[in-house]
Homo-oligomer: A and B are copies of this chain.
Amino acid sequence: MIFDLKLNDKTSKKLQIEDYIKKLINEGLLQSGEKLPSTREMGLMLKVSRNTIIKVYETLCDEGFISTTKGKGTFISGKKIRSNTGQHLKWGSIINDYTKKAENLDIIKHEMRSKKGMISFDSISPDKNLFDLEEFKRDFLNILSLEGNNILNYGYAKGYKPLIDCLKKYMSDKGIDFENKDILITNGFTEGFDIVLSSITEPGDKIICENPTHNTAIKLMKLHDLNITGIAMEEDGINAFELEKELKEGRPPKAAYLIPSYHNPTGIVMSSQKRLSVLKLLNNYKVPIIEDGFNEELRYSNSTITPIAALNGRGNSVIYIGSFSKILFPGMRIGWIAADKELISYLESIKRSRNIHTSFLDQAILYEYLMVGNFDKYVKKAKKYYKEKYELAIKYANLYIPYTKLSGEGGLHIFIEVKGVNSRKVMKECYKKGVIFTPGDIFFTNNSGEDTFRLSFSRVSKEEIERGFKIIGDTIKESLRRI
C-alpha cells in the first residue's frame, strides 16, 4: 500500500512520503500497532535514499504518529492522530492599519509594470552595463585579503570605520564641516529617511516638503502618519515666498524635507542663492532640514553646487542623507546620514534595534572601490554616458512632445507637464504601444499633477529615446485632438 506512492519533483520527497503515510493513518488504512517496512526496504521500493526514509521516520516519531522499538522495528503509534491541517488564521484581519497602509502605498504592487521588450521610461535605476565587473571583482578580492574573516563577522551599527572616514572626506570636499558631526551607514536612502523620521517625528506632526517630491519619501511620511505640507516648485527650486508664508502663518513643522539637486521628479537644481535663503528661513524658525543628496554627482555642467548642509557651516540643523545606490550598485543598498554627533548616536541605537548593521562585506567593497579611485572613474564615465542621453531626451521632447512645461537640469530623468492631458490615460494608450513611463501624479502631495509625466532615460537606448518619445508625443497629440 505504501509502495503505491508516486513521487513527484514539485516538493521535497521527504514531505511527500510523510504526507502519504499520515494520509494512510488518517484514513485508517494504516492501523495502530501495524509494523512499517524497514528504512532500507522502504528506500529501495520508493527509490529514494535510505537517509530520507530515516528522516521521515524521525519526523513521524517526533510528531507522535509512529514509534520505534529497538530491535523490533517501527510501528504505527496508538496515539490520537493530529489533524494535518494545523491552525488556520485569517491574516488579513490580524495585520494592523500600518501594514495595510504599507501595502496600499506600495506602488510596485499597484502600478502598471514594464514588460520585456517594452521601452521603459519608468525606472531611474542606473544602467547596469556601466558597472565595471572586473574592477568590482578586484576590489572584492583586495579587501578580502586585507580584512580576512573580520568583515564576515559582526560589525558595528554605525558602520565600517574606513568607509565612514572615507565618506567624511568625501563630504568635507563638498564643504561640509564635520566638527561635532558624524556619519551613520544605512541600507540606502530609504532606511536613512525612515530612521530619521522615526527619531524626530510623532504621528500627526507637520512636515514641509517640495510639491511634487520623491514618491518613496511621500510613502514614508504617510506611513509615519505625518501631516504633509507641500510647497510649490519654481524654476530654481522651492517657492521661498510660499515657504515663508507657511512658516509665518501655519502650524510649526517638525522638519522640512528637501531635494536640492536634480529634484525628483522635476529634475530642478535649487540655485545657490535660493539654498542660502531657504536655509536662513528655516533656521530662523528653528526647523530641522532633511537634505536628500539625490544624484548630486550627476551634474553635467562643470560647476559644482554646495549642499545646504555645507552652507550651514558649524550649525547642526541639517541632516544630510546620501546614497551612492542611485547611480552605483543599487543592489548593495548602501547610504549614509551625516548629521550632528549627538543625533547620530541616537540614530545608531535605532539602526542597531532594526537590523544590527548594514552588511560589512558590502561596506568594505564599496570602501575599496572608493579608495582606489574607481568611483571617480565611474562618475566620469557615467556623466558622459548619461549626459548624451539627457541631451537626446531634451532634443526629442522638443521635437515630438507638445509639452506646456519641461524641467530637468541633469540626472536621469526629465519632467513634463501637458496642460489638458491626463497622463494616466496617455499611459494606458502608450502601454498598448509598448511604452511605459511614470505618471507624475504619484509625486504630488495634494492629489494634483494629473497632467505631468516623469520620463527617465537611464535604462533605455538612444534609439529607444527617439522612438519612445515619438510614441508618447503622438499619443498626447491624439488625446489633445479629442478634447
Contacts and interface: CB of A to CB of B under 8 A. Distances in A.
Given A87-B286, A157-B108, A58 B304 contact: yes
Interface in A321-362: 329-333, 340, 342-343, 345-350, 352-362
A273 interface: yes
A172 B19 CA distance: 12
A154 interface: yes
Contacts of A303: 58
A170 to B, nearest CB: 10
Interface stretch (A240-248, A310-318, A402-410, A468-476): A310-318
Interface string A190-211: 1100100011111000000000
A12 interface: yes
A362 B140 CA distance: 12
A19 B19 CA distance: 75
Interface stretch (A143-151, A226-234, A383-391, A438-446): A143-151
B283 A86 contact: yes
Q: How large is the interface on A (under 10, 10 to 19, 20 to 34, 35 or more residues)?
A: 35 or more
Contact of A105 (B87, B129, B353, B361): B353
Interface string A103-128: 10110110000000000000001101
A283 B305 CA distance: 61
Interface in A145-181: 148-155, 157, 169, 172-173, 175, 177-178
A306 interface: yes
A312 B88 CA distance: 9
A483 interface: no
Contacts of A34: none
Interface string A62-78: 11100000000000000
Contacts of A350: 98-99, 102
A87 B217 CA distance: 25
B359 A14 contact: no
A380 interface: no
Interface string A419-437: 0000000000000000000
Contact of A12 (B169, B280, B333, B359): B169
A359 B356 contact: no
Interface string A1-45: 000000000011011001100000000000000000000000000
A89 B316 contact: yes
Q: Which of A15, A126, A157, A191 has the most CB of B within 10 A?
A: A15
B103 A346 contact: yes
Contacts of A202: 96
A239 interface: no
A282 B58 CA distance: 24
A302 to B, nearest CB: 10
Contact of A331 (B109, B151, B316): B151
A200 B90 CA distance: 12
B194 A353 contact: yes
Interface stretch (A131-139, A290-298, A448-456): A131-139
Given A91-B342, A317-B86, A356-B188, A131 B102 contact: no
Given A58-B304, A86-B318, A87-B317, 19 more contacts: A55-B173, A59-B306, A63-B311, A87-B282, A88-B316, A91-B316, A91-B342, A98-B199, A99-B350, A103-B345, A109-B349, A128-B150, A131-B149, A133-B148, A137-B141, A190-B353, A216-B353, A223-B353, A333-B357
